[in-house]
Each structure stands twice: as structure tokens, then as C-alpha cells.
Structure 1
Amino acid sequence: MTDREVADYLLANPNFFVEHAELLVSLKLGNPHGKAAVSLQERQMEMLREKNKHLELRLSELLRYGHENDSIAAKMVHWTSLVLAERDPHALPLMIAERLREEFDVPQSALRLWDVAESYTQANFAKHTGEEVRLFASSLETPYCGANTGFEAAQWLDGTQGEPQSVAIIALRKRVSDEERDPGGEAFGLLVMGSPDPRRFHDGMGTDFLRQIGTLASGALARLLPH
């Protein structure tokens, strides 16, 4: 019989070792941690200990992620409350960027808007943006996280702490639906965060919180658009 046939037979006959319990004592298996042979029961116990160790590590990792998410969620609530409390539309864009830096320990952040109402066209946040930036914003269905490959939006960032090596870029969109995952309508701006640390924003990181930031910022800044 082949190894597979033996395994299939044992799987098909779960009572085999019940009917032949003496084999459990006499069977000896190689010990992966040494040369001495061990009984089947000892090998099973070793496998269970290894499995439990793996599960404990996984649980510890999940708890750590949970604590991190709780912390980020608390910061999101505080940031949102500050955004909602801002009464001056002219101060709102700068305030959003500054509070992101403070609440989330982001080294650099900035935003630009276009096609704003006439009363805001001369503001710093409404400075001219090239057509490439607008096309890029329209193409961003999800936030971009990764290396700064020479994005024009990265040039808006304050480089006093060093040139941004990694960036997170979020499109600001007009809302056209109440669907949670709907990316929204036409883009009217970009929110960019950067860091001199090339690992701060990477393409493997989750974007759920960044999506929420984009949605909240878009809703708050919509008051600066023509009615």
C-alpha cells in the first residue's frame, strides 16, 4: 500500500485505533526536535502545543490590531468634531490639513480645491492646479498609498521636515449617493499626506480610515462649491 492509501484507510475507518488501542503505545514516531522516538500520543501533544502557540500569536496580533483601530477611531471622532465645529469656510481647508497632522501624527499634509465658489477663488487652497492633477483625482476610486514618484500634489507639502518619500492621496468628491462604498461624483480637490519615511504610507496598508477621512472632508468642504 502507498502512503496515500494508508492515510485514506485510516480516515475511512476512524475506529481503527479504538479497536487496536495497543498500537497507540507501540507506535513510535520521529521527534522533529531531536533524534529520540516518541509515541503517537506524545507526537499529537507536541502538534497541539505548536498549534496553540500559533493561535496565541495570532490572537495577540489581532488584539494589537484591535487596540490600534480603537485608537484611530477615537482620533477620527475627535478630528470630525473639530471639522464640524469650524464655522469659517475660509479657514476650513487649512484647519482640516493641520488637524490631520496633529491628530494622526502625520508629518505633512495639504489640500487643494478647484471650481470653488467665486468668493474663494483667491484663497491659497484654490491655487491653480494642472489638468494632470484633476485627471489623476478623477481616476482615484480608492486612496493612493505608496512611494512619492513625483506627484504634483506632493509639491504642495511643506518640505521643512524633509522631502516626502511616501504619500497618501485622497480624492475629494461631490456626493451623489448614500451608498457607503460609492466613491462619489466629480472630484473637486485632492487631500495629500506625506512623510520623509518611505515606509509610513505603503501599498499594503488598509485604506478604510483614509476613505472615511475623504468622505468627511468632502462633505465639509462642499460648502465652498457653487450652489
Structure 2
Amino acid sequence: MKPEDIHAEHVADYLARNPQFFHVFPNLLDRLSIPHPSNGKAVSLLERQVWQLREQRDKLQDEVDSLVAIAGDNGILLQKIQQLSRLLMVAETEQQAIDVLYTQMDEVFKVEYMTLVSWEVPNQSLKGLSQLGVRQDWVKTLKESLQPGKPVCGLIEQKWKSGLFHGASDLHSVCCLPLGKNRVWGVLALGSTTDRFHPELGTYFLKVMAELITARLNRLFG
């Protein structure tokens, strides 16, 4: 290869394949000009390595702090779900269970909007549980889009928003928890004025909540 044919990529590739190169030619290290990433001034190889190690340390620390924060948030959320589960189990009637659900969503989970609806007729009339007729196009579309065990989060169509939350104008994001084991007989819809229920939100705990509510109210629908 002629000198004019040698490019920086060739040198970098050669050094990557020969990590012992500077063991043989250590004097070249003194002639290297390495710019500092933050100010561009020439520094020694050792200084550059120290800076890089500090950057990696800080990045790892940020990742650890993030994981610790997530673990803490998940622990708090788990406690709230355990409390919800206990209260649903000790509720003597389905009406008490629905009352518990509304109270917990409001006071503990701090959900701004909540709607509990069904497509099937319950075996008793309960306050807080509304029935939606599938004759309406938006209701039919909503029902067909839900599957057991698969909560859906994000923005929703305007008709869905108006129908589920009676036209709440400040609603920004929604989470729909399908209710039912082998079929979806209803949905618990949660609304927020922020992006709290964004599409990338993890749904594990939401799925657990849906299963708890389904187990408690499933008897209403045979």
C-alpha cells in the first residue's frame, strides 16, 4: 500500500487489531496529541484515560440511581396494589367493592378521572358501574380493540374520550384496563391531565390490577 493510500481508518483498524503495538513502540506515546473532550486542549494519554473513566463512572452512577429510583417507585406501587387487593377481598358486597375501587383510585393512586363500564348486563344494578350499548360505533370499536390481560395506554379517539369521560376537556392521556378472564365484559378507564398514561408505560402492575378487579366483580357477569 502506498503512503498516499493510507487513511486514518486504516491506522485505527490496525491499532484495534494490534493492541500490543505501543508495547513495542512506547516512545510514540510521548508524541501523540490527544485533545481534551471538553476544552480541546492537548493532554496526555493518561489524562485522557482518566477523563474517560470518570465519564464512564458518572454514567454508571446515573444508571444505578435511576434503577434505585425505579425500584423505590415500584415498591410503593406494589404496596398500594396490595392494599387495594386486601380491601377488595374484605368488601362484603359488590357495591362495597366498587366503592373501594373509586376511593382507592382517587385517594391512593391519585387518578384524576375514572370510569367503570360494562358491555354486558350485570346481575344486579350497582352505583358506579355503567353499561354501554354496543350499538354505538365508538363503543363497538373500543370493545373490539381490547383483549383480556392487555391494558392499553396513550391517547384515545375523541368519541371514546367523550363517551367514557363525558367530554372532559382537560383530559390528556388514558389507560384502559380490560376486565374479564376469557372475554372482555367491561373496562376500567383511567384518565389524566398529563402524559401519565403514555404509550410506552409499563403495564405489568396495571395488568395485576385488572386481574384483581376481574376476580372480584366477575360474578356479576356469570
For the aligned pair, the TM-score class normalised by the smaller chain equals 0.7 to 0.9
Which residue of 2 is the match for residue 220 of structure 1? 216
CA drift of 1:217 comes to 0.9
Task: Measure the CA separation in 1 of the matches of 2:23 and 2:13.
Answer: 17
Seq. identity, % = 28
2:139 is matched with which residue? 133
Residue aligned with 1:223, SS: helix
Q: What code does the residue aligned with 1:169 have?
A: C
> After superposition, where does 1:183-202 map in structure 2 within 5 Å?
185-195=182-192, 197-202=193-198
Q: Judging changes above 3 Å, is the alpha-carbon distance between structure 1 residues 91 and 35 closer, same or farther for their aligned structure 2 residues? A: closer
Q: Secondary structure at the match of 2:158?
A: coil
Report the equivalent of 2:62. Answer: 57
- Structure 2 gaps of 5+ residues are 1-5
Alpha carbon RMSD of aligned pairs, Å?
A: 2.4
Q: TM-score, normalised by structure 1?
A: 0.82
- How much has 1:159 moved relative to structure 2? 8.2
> How many residues of Structure 1 are paired with residues of Structure 2 in the alignment?
212
Match of 1:94 in 2: 99
Contact 1:154/1:194 (CA < 8 Å) preserved in 2?
no
CA distance in 1 between counterparts of 2:161 and 2:43 reads 64
Residue in structure 1 matched with residue 175 of structure 2 by the alignment: 168
Deviates more, 1:72-81 or 1:162-171: 162-171
- The answer on whether the counterparts of 2:120 and 2:131 sit within 8 Å (CA) in structure 1 is no
Q: 1:35 to 1:100 in 2, by over 3 A?
A: closer
C-alpha distance in 1 between matches for 2:130 and 2:36: 70
AA aligned to 2:36 is N
Q: Where do residues 31-110 of structure 1 align in structure 2 (5 Å cutoff)?
A: 31-110=36-115
Task: Report if aligned partners of 1:145, 1:168 keep a CA contact under 8 Å in 2.
Answer: yes
Once the two structures are TM-superposed, the CA of residue 97 in structure 1 deviates from its matched residue by 2.7
TM-score (normalised: structure 2): 0.83
